[in-house]
């Protein structure tokens, strides 16, 4: 079941708030500005339904959205060093919106665009499709890129996010979602008090500009080891150079391809989220640089209030031989998916 209500206006475009619900008391609220998830309501072990992502108090705050709450990132997620890359012998200069680097598609990337949308209902699920046509040289990227992001909510408490794209000129494409999760419900507790497991043996080393060096580091004997479930906060304040550079977790882990690659669990509420993805890596970010964002429930955003699981190709891969380049060619169809499955334990 679904409903569509007024959100806000940007110029002559009406932004809509789209609410989809299943038969298991789970609810997802979306807007067609940035194809953004603005609220995700999930029951706990007592049946109490609460929000498990960070949400602005005022919906108009999604217009600027510096932390990219809930948004679709594109054309590329993550940073690109100096905003530069080479493609077929031609150098492309992207907009530098992360200091000297390009980040999350630029200051006018997919997060800050109005998308068309279609809502359909099928037995056991509700589907919201967002469509956007990115013009040639938008934010410096070559080619006209047509993208589709589809959210499917099932009665089994699964939220499937599918990413599709086609281009008329070789370009880059690396799409993800930037929701900040907190399974305590209405962010009553920090994510450092919740548990995480990642099926990953290696992570990407970062330089002091938070750009991958291209070097893979074995997680064993480091604070980056989540092969066994542990508290997110157990090692986050360690005197480990990679963590001091980023002031918390903000790294790409290389994932196994066997599904159920990520599990997050909150012991008090009993909520568990299992993430499966076709992408080869995930950037995990623990809201290390909040700016007192005005959150719902009369709260201000503070460090470690949420955690992002940005499933994607490795950031800045175009500039490293051994990483996924995120190149999309003419005639190819971009398709990747990430599934979030919510359980009570």
C-alpha 41/C-alpha 29 separation (Å) is 8
14 is catalytic: no
What domain count does the chain have? 1
Distance CA 40, CA 43 (A): 10
The binding site consists of 178-180, 250
Q: What angle do CA 246, 203, 288 make, to 5 degrees?
A: 20
Nearest residue to 182 via CA among 194, 164, 173: 194
Closest CA to 268 of 28, 46, 24: 46
Binding residues for beta-D-galactose, as ranges, are 178-180, 250
How far apart, in whole angstroms, are the C-alpha atoms of residue 147 and residue 172? 12
Respond yes or no: is residue 178 known to be catalytic. Answer: yes
- Please, how many CA atoms are within 13 Å of residue 283, restricted to the half-sphere of its CB? 27
Catalytic residue from among 138, 310, 336, 339 = 310
| Under 8 Å between Cβ of 8 and 15 | yes
Number of Cβ within a 10 Å radius of residue 207 = 12
Tokens of 155: 């009665």
Angle at 77 between CA 295 and CA 256, to 5 degrees: 105
Give the strand pairing for 27-31 and 36-43: antiparallel
Q: Per residue of the chain (345 residues), what is the pLDDT tens digit?
A: 999 999 999 999 999 999 999 999 999 999 999 999 999 999 999 999 999 999 999 999 999 999 999 999 999 999 999 999 999 999 999 999 999 999 999 999 999 999 999 999 999 999 999 999 999 999 999 999 999 999 999 999 999 999 999 999 999 999 999 999 999 999 999 999 999 999 999 999 999 999 999 999 999 999 999 999 999 999 999 999 999 999 999 999 999 988 999 999 999 999 999 999 999 999 999 999 999 999 999 999 999 999 999 999 999 999 999 999 999 999 999 999 999 999 999
CATH of the domain at 120: 2.70.98.10
In Å, the largest CA–CA distance within the chain is 59
- Residue span of the structural domain in which 98 resides: 2-344
Alpha carbons 239 and 245: distance in angstroms, whole number:
10
Peptide bond into 238 cis (omega under 30): no
Regarding pTM above 0.95, the answer is yes
What is the rounded CA–CA span in Å between residue 134 and residue 224? Answer: 36
Closest CA to 235 of 259, 203, 272, 211: 203
Catalytic one among 102, 104, 178, 320? 178
């Amino acid at each position: 079941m679904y409903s569509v209500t007024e959100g806000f206006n940007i110029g002559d475009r009406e932004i809509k708030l789209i609410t989809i619900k299943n038969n298991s008391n789970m609810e997802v609220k979306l807007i067609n500005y940035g194809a953004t998830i603005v609220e995700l309501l999930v029951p706990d072990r007592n049946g109490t339904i609460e929000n498990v992502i960070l949400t602005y108090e005022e919906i108009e705050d999604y217009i600027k959205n510096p932390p990219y709450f809930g948004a679709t990132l594109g054309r590329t997620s993550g940073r690109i060093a100096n905003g530069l890359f080479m493609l077929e012998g031609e150098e492309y200069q992207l907009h530098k919106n992360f200091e000297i680097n390009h980040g999350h598609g630029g200051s006018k990337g997919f997060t800050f665009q109005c998308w068309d949308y279609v809502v359909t209902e099928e037995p056991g699920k509700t589907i919201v499709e967002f469509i956007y046509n990115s013009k040639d040289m938008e934010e410096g990227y070559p080619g006209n890129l047509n993208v589709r992001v589809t959210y499917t909510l099932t009665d089994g408490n699964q939220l499937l996010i599918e990413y599709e794209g086609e281009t008329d000129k070789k370009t880059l494409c690396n799409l993800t979602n930037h929701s900040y999760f907190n399974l305590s419900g209405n962010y009553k507790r920090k994510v450092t008090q919740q548990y995480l497991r990642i099926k990953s043996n290696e992570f990407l080393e970062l330089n002091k500009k938070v750009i991958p060096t291209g070097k893979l580091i074995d997680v064993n004997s480091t604070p980056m080891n989540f092969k066994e479930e542990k508290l997110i906060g157990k090692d986050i304040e360690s005197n480990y150079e990679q963590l001091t550079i980023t002031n918390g977790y903000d790294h790409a882990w290389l994932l196994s391809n066997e599904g159920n690659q990520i599990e997050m669990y909150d012991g008090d509420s009993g909520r568990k989220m299992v993430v499966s993805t076709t992408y080869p890596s995930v950037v995990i970010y623990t809201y290390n640089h909040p700016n007192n964002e005005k959150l719902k429930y009369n709260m201000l955003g503070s460090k470690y209030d949420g955690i992002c699981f940005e499933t994607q190709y490795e950031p800045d891969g175009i500039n490293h031989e051994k990483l996924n380049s995120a190149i999309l060619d003419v005639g190819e169809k971009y398709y990747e998916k990430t599934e979030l499955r919510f359980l009570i334990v």
